Amino acid sequence: MTAVVHESYSFACMRCGHGWEQSYEIEHHTDADGTEFVMYVANGRIVPSPLSRPVCQNCDGRVVRIMRAGQVSSVLGAAHETAEREPDRPAPASPHHHWHLSDLLHPFQRRAS
């Protein structure tokens, strides 16, 4: 029997500022010798562990910050709220938009008075 755990992570590239989220099915297996091993599956494909050496989907950079799930999507919501309060700023194009680091940090920056 294979035990499956679902996990999601947010990622931000420190090289180009690209941000994204990914969900994984983590499958726990035991081989014929009784050795336990884990397989990570994303979008139906076996992928390396996102915790080992994540690579930026935008620039192939290897300096990627891993955050808890929802970091990028929560910034997406904050960006929509900011766009409603600041009509001169364009609203994000779609929920599948990949964010730059400056976009991720903007809602948390304090405005100068």
Q: Is the pLDDT of residue 97 over 60?
A: no
Taking the CA atoms of the chain, what radius of gyration do you get in angstroms?
A: 18
Q: What mean pLDDT comes out for the span 92-108?
A: 53
Q: What mean pLDDT comes out for the span 86-112?
A: 52
pLDDT tens digits, 43-90? 999 999 988 889 998 999 999 999 888 765 555 555 455 555 555 555
Amino acid at 7: E
CA distance 68 to 20: 12
Q: Is the pLDDT of residue 6 over 70?
A: yes
Residues 6+ apart with CB under 8 A from 100: 16, 17, 18, 19
